Amino acid sequence: MPSVEIRGNTDLRKALRRFAPDLDKELRKELTRALKPVVKAARGFVPVTSDIMHGWQPRSFSEARFPFYDYQTIVRGIGFTTAVSKPNKNGFTSNAQIFNKSAAGAIYETAGRLGQPQPWVGPKAGGSSHKVSRSNWEGAGAQFIDNLNSEPLVSSLAGRGRLIYRAWAQDRGIAVGISMRAIDKAVSIFYARANAGTLDKAA
């Protein structure tokens, strides 16, 4: 699932929730203010129809192994959270995250990012890997990417894509700046309260 993360001191978030819930509430408010415009922009980049994507249309259930294009599904799948994430495989967590979670949205976001289509194995191949093409036609993957060339991938510091990564690049660091200042402010106030011995009053 394509995503953009705001990293920071997640131990701080735990301490805020426990000892200074008012600061945690204010931090969430500021993170929301930072991320909401990026999500709105990303949703605005979703094409209303898939006219340029010949063949990427709703099909019968038996043919729906590849997710069909649906504007509303993709738009609804783009959002954000200000909750602290679980550690990823490298042990990193995030204070907030913008996500593109629908299958069709993820495909539209990143198709062609590797510069070549996935290896073709055909519709009768076994296994469940998502890293191969099971299309009826061997050239379907290349044609699919060619059709998307009218909406080129946009590079950002978080990755390359057509929706959330494009919006992140367009934001030019504004969301990160707001988020980092909000985190720094919460840290300063939290430690000031700790030094003054007033955390128990906020708990």
H/E element, 45:
none
115-129: per-residue pLDDT in tens?
776 777 666 777 777
146-193: per-residue pLDDT in tens?
777 778 899 999 999 999 999 999 999 999 999 999 999 999 999 999
Cβ neighbours of 160 (radius 10 Å)? 17
Provide the residue range defining the domain that includes 81: 3-113+153-202
Determine, yes or no, domain membership for 174. Answer: yes
Query: How many domains does the chain fold into?
Result: 1
**Residue 113's pLDDT is what?**
81
Reduced to 3 states (helix: H, G, I; strand: E, B; else coil), residue 80 is strand
Percent of the chain with pLDDT over 70: 83
Between CA 55 and CA 140 the distance in angstroms is: 10
Q: Reply yes or no on whether the pLDDT at 63 is more than 50.
A: no
**Within its chain, how far is the Cα of 150 from the centroid?**
22
Closest CA to 165 of 30, 31, 39, 36: 39
20-51: per-residue pLDDT in tens?
999 999 999 999 999 999 999 999 999 887 56
**Residue 91's pLDDT is what?**
76
